[in-house]
Amino acid sequence: MHANAKQVYGEPIERGGMTLIPVARVQWGFGAGTLGRGTRGGGGGGGVRAYPSGFIELHDGHAAFRAIHDAHSTALLGGVALGGLVAGLVLGRLLRR
């Protein structure tokens, strides 16, 4: 398997005078190792992860990227922001004492 644009951009889809090109994020990772010095054990592995990122919309000579938002990431970001706000308020009160 080799990396190229086909792993990121899908086949164009044409409907009603509009063309949509799917876009994905693709991540690759590989690793290997041994069980220590002088031993014979070892191994390796790898993996690939792909998930939709959005699509490119082509219509009337214009192109626009439309992102697909992941609900889990949005919820996590909101939780982190809320946690930071609460931590800031608590820290502010502690420093005023």
Whether the predicted pLDDT of 38 surpasses 90: no
- Please return the burial class of 57, using the count of CB atoms within 10 Å of its CB with bins 0-12, 13-18 and 19+: middle
Name the percent of the chain lying above pLDDT 90.
15
3-state secondary structure of 61: coil
pLDDT at 92: 80
User: Mean pLDDT across the stretch 17-40?
Assistant: 83
Rounded to whole angstroms, the Cα distance separating 84 from 9 reads 36
For residue 13, the SS3 value is strand
Lowest mean pLDDT among 1-5, 62-66, 90-94: 1-5
Global model pTM greater than 0.85 = no
Amino acid 72: pLDDT: 64
